[in-house]
A = this chain, B = another copy of it.
Amino acid sequence: MKKQERQRYIKRLLSSNEIERQEDFVRLLRAEDIDVTQATISRDIKDMQLVKVPSVTGGYHYSMPVQKKMDTEKKLRRTLKDAYVSYATQDKFVLIKVLPGNGPALASLIEAMHYDNVFGTLGDDDTVLIIGKSLDATLDLQQTLQRLLSDN
């Protein structure tokens, strides 16, 4: 179906946090050859229960719904604790070793969080590579992950 595909794109766009208004979605989707109006986006946003968050930097940006984010985080924390083996970082990269078989699941959970620090994620059988958007972003990210690992 068309609607679902579009909404998948919208999800993907979420983490590139320059999305301040619905028209931005319209513009970005056009670049992907998906042609919609703001009205449709408004309804998609309602469907998907996205929220417009006042960001610390003064602007606004759209983001995942609270509940879903919380649920995902729980799964993420559990998976991390279950499967975590070791951890290394260099430059804008974070490399996590996990028990065999857990890489893909962990990677996709991290993606699902739509952290706006994360440029991309990539998981093979026993390794997850996370690429931060910047050096600072990567440091933040490390902290987030460590917090997740150390209970809270």
Contact = CB atoms under 8 A, between A and B. Distances in A.
A48 B55 CA distance: 10
Contact of A54 (B45, B55, B70, B74): B45
When all copies of this chain in the complex are counted, the total is 2
A49 B45 contact: no
A64 to B, nearest CB: 8
Contacts of A54: 45-51, 65
A90 interface: no
Contacts of A53: 49, 51, 65-66
Q: Is the interface of A mostly helix, strand, loop or mixed?
A: mixed
Interface residues of A, number: 24
Given A51-B54, A54-B65, A64-B66, 12 more contacts: A46-B60, A47-B54, A49-B53, A49-B54, A51-B51, A53-B66, A63-B66, A66-B66, A69-B70, A70-B73, A74-B152, A78-B152
Nearest to A45: B54
Q: What 10 A-B pairs have minimum CB-CB distances, sorted nearest first?
A: A51-B51, A46-B54, A49-B54, A74-B152, A66-B66, A51-B53, A66-B69, A70-B70, A49-B53, A51-B52
A45 to B, nearest CB: 7
